[in-house]
Amino acid sequence: MFDRPKQHKKGADVPLWMATFADMMSLMMCFFVLLFAQAKMDVAKFESVVGSLRDAFGGVQYISKREDAQQGLEAGIISGTGHNSVPTQQVRTVEKVVSTTAGDALYKKLKEGLREDIAAGRVMLERNRDQVVVRFPEHVSFPSGSARLVSGATELIHRVVSLIDGESQQVTVAGHTDNVPLRGGIFSSNWDLSAARAVSVAEQVLQVGSVAESQLVVSGYGASRPLVTNDSVEHRARNRRVEILVAYRQDAEPTAGASTDDAARAPPTGASPESVEAPAVEHPQVPRSGTLWDKLAREEAAS
């Protein structure tokens, strides 16, 4: 007699979608494991690999620290191959540090050399971004409404300029006035007067010899750039001034855009500065020409 096969108890049926769901969960687990593994990569090892690849393809090496940039620059200069050259951004950073250091050194030099003038209120110094500002108030430089230097102003300007070492990239002489309109006289407007005063100071700057003509820019701003609001006699007196700005970067000041003759005829344009090129001055007796020079000559003849 044959034995009957044992019959198993019939269990609950498993839905077919469970198999697909289980596969998806397994794949998702693998995916997140891979993400976790990538997040825990060795940064030092990655930088080494990137540097090797860039070096192999002739690119710039990866620089992670400021000290590495300086070492790479020195190595490139010594070898002459440029193999370890520094990226442009790093070079600009070094240039900015150099310009800041040079500006600080000049500021300290001027502060020490002009200690008595600063204490007497004849000169004011200011360290502004990438430039040093030497400010001459009106009462020690020009009579009211005039562009003729007062007695002692020439010597003061010469003392200031003699302390400038000539290493700057640009020297700007800027004239400023208050907002009180001129009435009568040789100069037709505050802008005209500020430009003439700046040219008078620029003549003295060039006579010292430490600043080249190619470095000099002369600007007349009129009343467009006041230090304080023109709401009182004291504030208007502060705004009437001539400044010498010594910059150690080319983008510190706008370049000159007009000659002295054109500048004298050009009308003011709101807050936009009008720049004029400084005249060539090699000795005290310099031939002068142009509208602005004519006004200066007439004022000197009348004095």
pLDDT-derived band at 16, boundaries 50, 70, 90: confident
pLDDT in tens, 84-99: 555 555 445 544 544 5
pLDDT beyond 80 at 219:
yes
- Is pLDDT of 33 > 60? yes
| Residues facing 135 on adjacent strands | 124, 243
Q: What is the second-level CATH architecture of the domain 114-302?
A: 2-Layer Sandwich (3.30)
Task: Please give the Cα distance from 270 to 286 (Å, whole number).
Answer: 33
Cα Rg, the chain, nearest whole Å: 35
Tens digits of per-residue pLDDT, 257-277?
Answer: 333 344 433 444 444 444 444
**What pTM was computed for the model?**
0.56
Smallest CA-to-CA distance from 214 within 164, 263, 256, 177 is with 256
* Mean pLDDT along residues 52-61: 60
Report d(CA 252, CA 273) in Å as an integer. 14
DSSP state of 105: H
44: left (phi over 0), alpha (psi -120 to 50) or beta: alpha
Give the rounded percent of residues in the chain with a pLDDT score beyond 90: 38
